[in-house]
Amino acid sequence: MPGPRPVVLSGPSGAGKSTLMKKLLQDYEGVFGFSVSHTTRNPRPGEEDGKDYHFTNREAMQKGIENGDFIESAGFSGNLYGTSKSAIEDVQAKNLICILDVDIQGVMKIKETDLNPIYISIQPPSMEILEKRLRDRQTETEESLQKRLEAAQTDLELSKEPGVFDVIIINDDLDKAYEELKAILSDEIKKVQEAKS
């Protein structure tokens, strides 16, 4: 029996992807595995190398991209981000549902591979609410905030194209969004739980 299908979670910064993902990983320990992305940006306070991201330098990452070690990669705010094939294989080797957290560019690149994940877009109820959430975090300069909002606008436009996502979840209520997410993934969750029992 083939392992469970991976899950690609996408959506603009501030839509609630990380919060929903953390809940899944907590509530279903031993079912989901997070594909840890690589980045050339510096760690934020509290972030751990190998857990939140694989922190690396531009030269090493560029070389990996050229060697075809990454299933997707993108530049944002002067930094590189990417998902390595080995990060996905590590999770799949444990027969876990691999969660990938990627932007819309990453989604388009993964569509060109044979990964066959479930594509889910997590979206804010409105741009105004998204802007408020990002401002409330107080982690952005005005310039980086504007860049994130521009990226979000592009993200939301592209996600409307038919066939890009299997499901779009509007996160205006975290509990409701989480219930929707669990319902979409219930078949894959059962596969893993049955394989373990």
User: Which residues are designated catalytic?
Assistant: 44, 137, 148
Q: How far apart are CA 2 and CA 183, in angstroms?
A: 21
Listed in sequence order, the residues at least 6 apart from 106 whose beta carbon sits closer than 8 Å to its beta carbon are 8, 10, 72, 73, 74, 81, 83, 100
- Kindly report the CA angle at 85 between 57 and 78, in degrees rounded to 5? 30
Q: How far apart are CA 140 and CA 146, in angstroms?
A: 9
Residue 44: DSSP 8-state: P
Sheet strands (E) in the chain: 7-10, 32-34, 38-39, 54-55, 70-76, 79-84, 97-101, 118-123, 167-170
Listed in sequence order, the residues at least 6 apart from 93 whose beta carbon sits closer than 8 Å to its beta carbon are none
Q: How far apart are CA 140 and CA 143, in angstroms?
A: 8
